[in-house]
Copies of this chain bind each other. A is one copy, B any other.
Amino acid sequence: MLNQISPLDTLFQALADPTRRGIVERLAQGPQAVSELGAGLPISLPAVMQHLGVLQAAGLVDSRKTGRVRMVWLNPAALQRLGRWAQAQQAMWETRLDGLGDYLDETDAKD
């Protein structure tokens, strides 16, 4: 597949799943226990754990266990990296946009 893993890679892959994105959105409201998190999802607890593992590997969440309860919370730094990447591509593109306008004017083939 050509899959050399980069930090950004695990990040995007983690957020590609809607369930995991839902967990992130949930955690954006504040820390939650694993079971608390699972109670809001239509999947088994082991599945929740697996998702949390992916999110943690991507640096998107952190957790700490106290007694028998594991608390999970968001790590905003990862989201920042994501935003920065998107913005960088956008910025790069904006500086080249002029050429495209010319190209579009010269042509009219649709597809």
Across the interface, A28 reaches (CB within 8 A) one of B8, B15, B30, B89, namely: B89
Across the interface, A76 reaches (CB within 8 A) one of B73, B76, B79, B93, namely: B93
Does A49 sit at the interface, judged by CB under 8 A? no
Kindly report how many copies of this chain are found in the complex they form together. Answer: 2
Does A99 sit at the interface, judged by CB under 8 A? yes
- CB contacts (< 8 Å) of A43 on chain B: these are 2
Across the interface, A83 reaches (CB within 8 A) one of B90, B93, B99, namely: B90
CA distance A103 to B110 in the complex (A): 58
18 residue pairs from A and B, CB less than 8 Å apart: A2-B18, A2-B42, A2-B43, A8-B21, A15-B16, A27-B93, A28-B90, A28-B96, A30-B96, A31-B99, A64-B109, A64-B111, A67-B109, A71-B103, A74-B93, A76-B94, A83-B83, A86-B86
* A positions within 8 Å CB-CB of B: 1-4, 6, 8-9, 12-13, 15-19, 21, 24-25, 27-31, 41-43, 63-67, 70-71, 73-74, 76, 79-80, 82-83, 86-90, 92-94, 96, 99-100, 103-104, 107, 109-111
